[in-house]
């Protein structure tokens, strides 16, 4: 503050007097802190003190920089911290410390009020308070620094003179608090991109991706990340979803991907799917080859011209052929011995068609060895159409919840031990060969043999990417960690008729949450169902 007085001698006298008054109060705060620390047996210097505020203030170039960075950012954050910790200390019986913090809290209201007063005087007339302040903050500073990690204090901000729109914009604002963010984006057609270099996404598919991507954005594990989106969420969508604990990280237009990569300091780039050989169906065969023979009882082979010869060796009547880079039901062909000649003339994964009883998927995350390596995330229950299109994913608090006794017994006694003892070691070998790190999912299902016995097909598909199942799992952890959550889609018209869950004590009743906006969705709206 003294630097601001020295650095801007031409600033209006009333501004300089305001800064001088603030400086005197901050000196009082420091004396109170030091004295109370001594009384508690702590000397100033015993504990490390961060120079972060000084580093961000020292290079200010104008009085507007000063009020934007100090008054409206760091001092505004103290409206949350001082108020919260005053209450905490009072509840713990330390009334003396609580009183100090309460007085500081009252002073900070006036300091923030000084900042908004001069921001309004110096900003462009066409700018809102929020836009002017946001524009004035330069990376690595952002509005996130004006909020505490404690509860958001709307009342204090209103007393300081901040407008309702400003307060609402700050409340919903999210970005990294310090660590370099990961850059995430939704590329659901990665299999096509990998197999067809230079492929351009058709308009209809791009609109479908825009419809679905709010589910991906909301499931982001960290609020420190940046999500690139085709269709940015509006304020109404943000506020509606925040009721359920669903908040967007920092979101930017997907069209700015090159600029973000160039101008922002990023930790990792994490798309929905990395363009990798693991996106090929051949990865499924490779994993099956690594499993013990007793787990892979169903014949499968990569064929092109030899399909007829392969199926002639086996007694199955119905077969399925999968194109190597198909996904979401694309590139799947059902056939029989009589219709084998109708298959496309390209490499295909050939296997018998089995009548599914129930589908499950195993979720994994592979990080570098020093970060834990391959670990199991959980399982989800899947529903797909007969032609392989995804319909829904359900993450349950208890994996065997809702299963018939026969399947629950098989899951607990056979499947889970095999996943740990057989599947994960084989998966680690496969992923090591391609040096893959990131999310992955192994689709599997239960089916009934002709003799009536229930069996488990452990590897139907290797998905070295995010999946809708992984999204469902992440959303459950945020919305209903002790309950079941199903992720599905519906038409925009159906979404308008949904009944959202209502609060019931510490959780929500059953109901549906539309993650997208029906009025702007082209064909599908991702929906969360709470049970």
Higher pLDDT residue, 295 or 273? 273
Quickly tell me which residue has 């065997």 as its tokens. 400
Q: What does pLDDT average to over the chain? A: 92
Helix (H) or strand (E) holding 486: strand 485-490
Element of type H or E holding 66: helix 63-66
* Amino acid 35: pLDDT: 95
Say whether pLDDT at 125 is over 80.
Answer: yes
The answer to whether 527 and 501 have CB atoms below 8 angstroms apart is no
Would you say the C-alpha torsion 264, 266, 271, 275 has a positive or negative sign? positive
pLDDT at residue 50, rounded to an integer:
83
Give me 182's structure tokens: 């990961």
Domains and CATH numbers, the chain: 2-172 (no CATH), 183-273+471-530 (no CATH), 277-470 (3.30.470)
pLDDT of residue 265: 87
Strand partners, 139: none
Cα gap 252→489, rounded to integer Å: 24
Task: Please report the pLDDT score of residue 371 as a whole number.
Answer: 86
Asked whether the predicted pLDDT for residue 71 surpasses 80, the reply is yes
- Higher confidence at residue 221 or residue 460? 460
Residue ranges in 411-509 assigned as alpha helix (H)? 416-418, 424-433, 468-479, 492-496
Please give the pLDDT value at position 48: 86
The answer, yes or no, to whether residue 310 has pLDDT greater than 90, is yes
Question: Does residue 495 sit in helix, strand or coil?
Answer: helix
Collapsing DSSP to helix, strand or coil, 508 comes out as: strand
Query: 429: closest CA among 295, 293, 290?
Result: 290
Q: How many other CB atoms sit within 10 Å of the CB of residue 96?
A: 13
Structure tokens at 397: 């608090």
To 10 degrees, the CA torsion angle through 466, 470, 475, 477?
-130
From CA 114, how far away is CA 112, in angstroms rounded?
A: 5
What confidence score (pLDDT) does residue 189 get?
Answer: 94
Helix (H, G, I), strand (E, B) or coil at 349: strand
What pLDDT was estimated at residue 54? Answer: 85
pLDDT value for 365: 96
Q: What is the pLDDT of residues 139-152, one digit of tens each?
A: 778 899 999 989 99
- In which band, very low, low, confident or very high, does the pLDDT at 504 lie, cut at 50, 70 and 90? confident
pLDDT at 86 over 90: yes
- Answer yes or no: is pLDDT of 173 > 90: no
Tell me which residue has tokens 């304020």: 235
C-alpha closest to that of 252 among 175, 142, 170: 175
Model confidence at 206, pLDDT cuts 50, 70, 90, reads very high
Beta pairing, strands 374-384 & 356-366: antiparallel
253 close to 228: Cβ distance less than 8 angstroms = yes
DSSP string, 232-259: ---HHHHHHHHTTT----EEEEGGGHHH
pLDDT at 336: 93
Task: Work out the angle at residue 162's Cα, subtended by the Cα atoms of residues 156 and 163, and round it to the nearest 5 degrees.
Answer: 120
What pLDDT does residue 295 have? 87
Confidence of residue 275 (pLDDT cuts 50, 70, 90): very high
Provide mean pLDDT across the span 366-376: 91
Average pLDDT estimate for 416-423: 95
What average pLDDT does this structure show over 125-145? Answer: 90
pLDDT in tens, 471-497: 999 999 999 888 999 999 999 999 999
Strands 269-271 and 183-185 come out as parallel
Q: In this predicted structure, what is the pLDDT of residue 245?
A: 87
1, pLDDT greater than 80? no
């Amino acid at each position: 503050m003294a630097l601001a007085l020295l650095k801007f001698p031409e600033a209006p006298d009333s501004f300089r007097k305001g800064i001088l008054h603030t400086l005197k109060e901050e000196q009082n705060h420091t004396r109170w802190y030091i004295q109370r620390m001594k009384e508690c047996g702590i000397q100033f210097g015993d504990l490390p003190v961060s120079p972060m505020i000084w580093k961000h203030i020292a290079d200010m170039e104008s009085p507007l920089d000063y009020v934007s960075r100090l008054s409206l950012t760091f001092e505004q954050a103290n409206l949350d911290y001082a108020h919260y910790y005053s209450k905490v200390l009072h509840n713990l019986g330390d009334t003396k410390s609580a009183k100090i913090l309460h007085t500081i809290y009252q002073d900070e209201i006036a300091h923030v009020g000084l900042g908004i007063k001069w921001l309004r005087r110096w900003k462009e007339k066409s700018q809102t308070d929020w836009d002017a302040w946001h524009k004035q903050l330069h990376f690595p500073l952002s509005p996130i620094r004006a909020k505490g990690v404690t509860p958001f204090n709307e009342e204090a901000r209103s007393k300081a003179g901040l407008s309702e729109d400003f307060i609402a914009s700050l409340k919903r604002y999210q970005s990294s608090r310090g660590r370099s963010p990961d850059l995430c984006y939704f590329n659901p057609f990665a299999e096509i991109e990998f197999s067809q270099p230079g492929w351009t996404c058709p308009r209809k598919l791009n609109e479908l991706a825009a419809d679905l991507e709010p589910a991906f954005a909301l499931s982001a594990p960290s609020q420190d990340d940046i999500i690139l989106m085709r269709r940015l969420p509006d304020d109404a969508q943000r506020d509606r979803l925040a009721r359920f604990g669903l908040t967007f990280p920092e979101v930017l237009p997907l069209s700015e991907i090159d600029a973000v990569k160039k101008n922002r300091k990023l930790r990792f780039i994490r798309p929905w799917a990395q363009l990798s050989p693991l996106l090929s169906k051949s990865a499924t065969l490779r994993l099956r080859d690594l499993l013990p023979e007793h787990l892979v009882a169903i014949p499968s082979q990569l064929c092109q011209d030899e399909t007829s010869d392969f199926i002639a060796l086996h007694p199955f009547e119905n077969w399925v052929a999968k194109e190597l880079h198909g996904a979401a039901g694309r590139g799947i062909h059902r056939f029989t011995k009589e219709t084998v000649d109708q298959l496309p003339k390209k490499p295909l994964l050939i296997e018998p068609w089995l009548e599914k009883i129930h589908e499950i998927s195993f979720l994994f995350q592979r990080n570098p060895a020093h970060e834990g390596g391959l670990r199991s995330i959980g399982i989800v229950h899947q529903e797909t159409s007969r032609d392989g299109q995804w319909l829904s994913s359900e993450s349950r608090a208890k994996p065997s919840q809702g299963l018939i006794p026969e399947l629950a017994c098989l899951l607990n006694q056979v499947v889970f031990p095999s996943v740990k003892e057989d599947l994960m070691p084989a998966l680690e070998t496969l992923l090591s060969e391609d040096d893959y790190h990131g999310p992955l999912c192994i689709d599997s299902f239960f089916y009934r043999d002709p003799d009536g016995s229930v069996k488990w097909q452990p590897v139907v598909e290797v998905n070295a990417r995010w999946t809708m199942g992984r999204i469902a799992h992440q959303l459950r952890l945020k919305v209903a960690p002790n309950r079941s959550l199903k992720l599905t889609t519906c038409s925009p018209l159906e979404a308008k008729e949904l009944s959202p869950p209502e609060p019931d004590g510490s959780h929500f009743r059953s109901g549906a949450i539309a993650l997208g906006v029906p009025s702007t969705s082209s064909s599908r709206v991702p929906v969360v169902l709470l049970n």
